[in-house]
Amino acid sequence: MITSNQPKKRLPSILVFIVIYLICQAVVFLSKPIFRLLEKLAYAIDDFLNYTGIALADGEFDPAGLWVIFGVPFLCAIVIFYLLKKLTDKIKPSSSIK
């Protein structure tokens, strides 16, 4: 009978991704220049949303703020995880089928 080790291999990968995402979040919240950069990006997106009429962003309500604050680190975590996965796959010798 052939068994698969996919569930056992998937859990450490998910945990590594979560750790990478939490590190990216910590960098965003603890580094003032990066937080300001993301805040400016959120304001630029708000201006675009106001201009096109898709959403209205006034001084208090910021429709793009949370998406930028949580989404950009998520995208960075995806890229870092992908590069890390490619690097580890390249380092590991390919296993032969027995």
- The pLDDT, as a whole number, for residue 16 is 93
12-46 pLDDT, tens per residue?
889 999 999 999 999 999 999 999 998 888 888 88
What range does the domain containing 60 cover?
Answer: 43-89
Q: What is the CA radius of gyration of the chain?
A: 20
Look up the pTM and report it: 0.72
Q: Is 76 domain-assigned?
A: yes
Q: Is 78 domain-assigned?
A: yes
H-only helix segments in the chain: 6-30, 32-52, 65-91
Residue 51 C-beta-side C-alpha neighbours within 13 Å: 6
The type of residue at 50 is N
Total tally of structural domains belonging to the chain: 1
- Token pair, residue 15, equals 């945990």
42-79 pLDDT, tens per residue?
888 888 888 888 777 666 666 677 888 899 999 999 99
**Cβ(74)–Cβ(66) below 8 Å:** no
Q: Is 62 domain-assigned?
A: yes
